[in-house]
Amino acid sequence: MTQRTSRVSVSALPLLLHVRCAPRMVVHLADVAQAGRAIVSSGRSTLPLLVEVSALREVTWDAREAILSYHHPARVAILGSDAVDLVLTAFTVRSPMTIRFFTERDDAVRWLLQR
């Protein structure tokens, strides 16, 4: 199952959920809400979550607040392409979720699937 807009796609894979943001996007509250609805409607919202961002331009304040208020029941890996993505997603350290940032997809998936 994949739900997609021109900005964000959410796929339910066999062992994890995958959220992919369009390159160079500004993440708005509407994007976070759309991803959240897709995660819930997947019926697999307890799976680990891989969030792939690439060269983000910005995460708006409202989007940050929505992300911080969300609690995913499994591990969350943020997959970015560079230090800018790390800085733009660093606010997630305040999250109560088990969350880590990666630049290598294989490392992120391996960590997500650890028991």
CATH number at residue 54: 3.30.750.24
In a domain, 113, yes or no: no
Q: Higher confidence at residue 1 or residue 90? A: 90
Q: Higher confidence at residue 85 or residue 112? A: 112
In a domain, 115, yes or no: no
pLDDT confidence of residue 100: 94
Kind of pairing, strands 17-21 and 8-12? antiparallel
Give the range of the structural domain holding residue 91, as residue numbers without chain letter.
Answer: 2-108
102 within 8 A of 69, measured Cβ to Cβ = no
In a domain, 38, yes or no: yes
Global pTM reads 0.90
Query: Model confidence over 6-21: pLDDT tens digits?
Result: 689 999 999 999 999 9
Q: Does residue 91 register a pLDDT over 70?
A: yes
In a domain, 23, yes or no: yes
**Tally of domains within the chain:** 1
Q: Does residue 5 register a pLDDT over 70?
A: no
Query: Model confidence over 21-74: pLDDT tens digits?
Result: 999 999 999 999 999 999 999 999 999 999 999 888 999 999 999 999 999 999
Question: Which pair of tokens denotes residue 105?
Answer: 């997809």
